């Protein structure tokens, strides 16, 4: 009997102590801003209040050092100072960075450039930025009249005109044809396998420069299917049979690919041959430059996807501006990778890769970034001019989850239990997506 009563007495004693114990130190008082949320049990240390700002700008004249506060030390060995000046958050990362995240920055300035008579082309793919396995990009320049020869790809092609103007043509598998002109800020899109051409116009006297994006990270601009390359590798007898001509009719075809070559600009009234099958019903060009941007508290946004640019079924984009001191809000894309191109300004981006892994990168005009699907991130304008960039996705629709909207639409008590924030802070959460948040 004694052996039974002793454990029972201990259980009753512990129960009595649990009911009569005073509130833990730091528990919210009655009527406080967090009184309707159960006080969480502190199982880990609170996050540091260190703001972790950018330590220097790319145009600094200092010799950057690997020091942040009491951490790190100066550099004693050789140093590539220009690169360190451009990458403050790699040399002296914020203390919030942790673990391992693959490199997510590639400047086109580091890409080998293919120089041709009439223009040039340079590319980024997973060979130089392995994290970008789903998309690749090409930066191309054509002088007035120069032609990117008739060709096709195994991947879809999405393009943005950076400067100048161009004319594109295409024919689909139904024998329908298309011709269209695009200018700065406009787009074109060609599905995989559709033959097309690009020719620079002389509207502005400079020709054109544009960005191409492909929905395969292994894409190589050097592996394009080119008209001249193909015919140079077909016996002349076969060519003559195919076109029902003499062999001599093709005496002057090139012995190798042209790729980019000079030509007079096309006339203003250039017309397509009339096709018995008609013209392509969904245009392969889109005048994004003429779409009014949606104004936001800290910038603007234009969204273009398959609902507005119906031909673009596999790639979509947002064109975003962020004013000095503002930020593209904390967010993520549920199932889409993001291939980012910076057109102007300076940016700071931290990628959160889950499991305590985070890495911060700094970007400038001409840089390419990449954010894998579901990685939490933001884009902060760290300069004193407008930040302008493209978010490009391997999907026909643009989708993102806003951190502010998610928390605003979650029961407040649940949010407070996680973050121990006040009612006043809860009220500042936005039930609609801010997209770009202005400076405080």
C-alpha distances (whole Å) from 203 to each of 23, 170, 272, 436 are 76, 21, 20, 34
**Cβ atoms of residues 360 and 53 within 8 Å:** no
**335 CB contacts (<8 Å, ≥6 apart)?**
373, 374, 395, 399
The helix or strand, by DSSP H or E, that contains position 227, with its residue range, turns out to be helix 227-231
Q: Decide if 391 is catalytic.
A: yes
**Cβ atoms of residues 327 and 377 within 8 Å:** no
C-alpha distances (whole Å) from 29 to each of 32, 176, 400 are 6, 74, 38
Active-site option among 143, 319, 380, 391: 391
Q: How far apart are CA 131 and CA 338, in angstroms?
A: 11
Q: How far apart are CA 268 and CA 202, in angstroms?
A: 10
Task: Please give the span between the terminal C-alpha atoms of the chain, in angstroms, as a whole number.
Answer: 71
Residue 155 DSSP one-character state = S
Residues making up the chain, counted from first to last: 440
- Return the ∠ at Cα 168 (arms to 163 and 171), rounded to 5°: 160
Q: Where are the beta strands (DSSP E) in 125-276?
A: 136-142, 147-152, 157-171, 177-183, 187-190, 196-200, 208-214, 225-226, 260-261
**7 CB contacts (<8 Å, ≥6 apart)?**
none
Locus of tokens 């049990």: 41
Q: Which residues are catalytic?
A: 391
């Amino acid at each position: 009997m004694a052996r039974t009563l002793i454990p029972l007495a201990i259980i009753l004693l512990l129960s009595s102590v649990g009911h009569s114990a005073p509130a833990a130190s730091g528990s919210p008082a009655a009527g406080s801003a967090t009184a309707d949320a159960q006080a969480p049990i502190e199982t880990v240390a609170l996050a540091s209040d260190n703001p972790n700002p950018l330590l220097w700008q790319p145009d600094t004249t200092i010799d950057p050092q690997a020091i942040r506060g009491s951490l790190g030390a100066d550099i004693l060995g050789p140093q590539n100072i220009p690169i360190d000046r451009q990458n403050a958050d790699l040399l002296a990362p914020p203390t919030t960075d942790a673990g391992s995240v693959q490199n997510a920055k590639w400047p086109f300035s580091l890409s080998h450039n293919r120089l041709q008579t009439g223009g040039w082309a340079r590319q980024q793919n997973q060979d130089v930025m392995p994290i970008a396995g789903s998309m690749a990009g090409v930066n191309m320049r054509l002088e007035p009249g120069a032609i990117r020869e008739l060709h096709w790809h195994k991947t879809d092609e999405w393009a943005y005109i950076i400067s100048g103007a161009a004319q594109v043509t295409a024919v689909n598998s139904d024998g329908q044809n298309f011709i269209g002109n695009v200018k700065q800020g406009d787009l074109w899109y060609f599905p995989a396998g559709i033959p097309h051409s690009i020719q620079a116009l002389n509207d502005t006297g400079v020709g054109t420069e544009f960005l191409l994006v492909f929905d395969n990270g292994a894409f190589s601009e050097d592996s394009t299917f080119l008209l001249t390359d193909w015919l140079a590798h077909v016996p002349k007898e076969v060519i003559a049979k195919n076109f029902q001509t003499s062999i001599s009719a093709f005496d002057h075809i090139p012995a190798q690919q042209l790729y980019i070559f000079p030509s007079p600009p096309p006339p203003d009234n250039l017309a397509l041959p009339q096709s018995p099958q008609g013209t392509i019903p969904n245009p392969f060009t889109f005048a994004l430059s003429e779409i009014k941007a949606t104004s936001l508290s800290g910038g603007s946004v234009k969204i273009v996807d398959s609902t507005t640019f119906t031909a673009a079924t596999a790639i979509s984009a947002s064109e975003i501006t962020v004013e000095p001191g503002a930020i593209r809000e904390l967010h993520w894309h549920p199932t889409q990778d993001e291939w980012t191109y910076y057109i102007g300004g300076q940016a700071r981006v931290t990628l959160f890769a889950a499991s305590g892994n985070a890495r911060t990168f700094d970007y400038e005009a001409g840089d390419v970034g990449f954010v894998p699907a579901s990685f939490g991130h933001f884009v902060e304008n760290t300069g004193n001019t407008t930040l302008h960039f493209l978010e490009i996705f391997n999907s026909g629709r643009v989708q993102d989850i806003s951190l502010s909207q998610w928390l605003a639409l979650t029961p407040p008590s649940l949010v407070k239990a996680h973050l121990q924030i006040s009612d006043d802070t809860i009220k500042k959460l936005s039930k609609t997506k801010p997209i770009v948040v202005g400076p405080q």
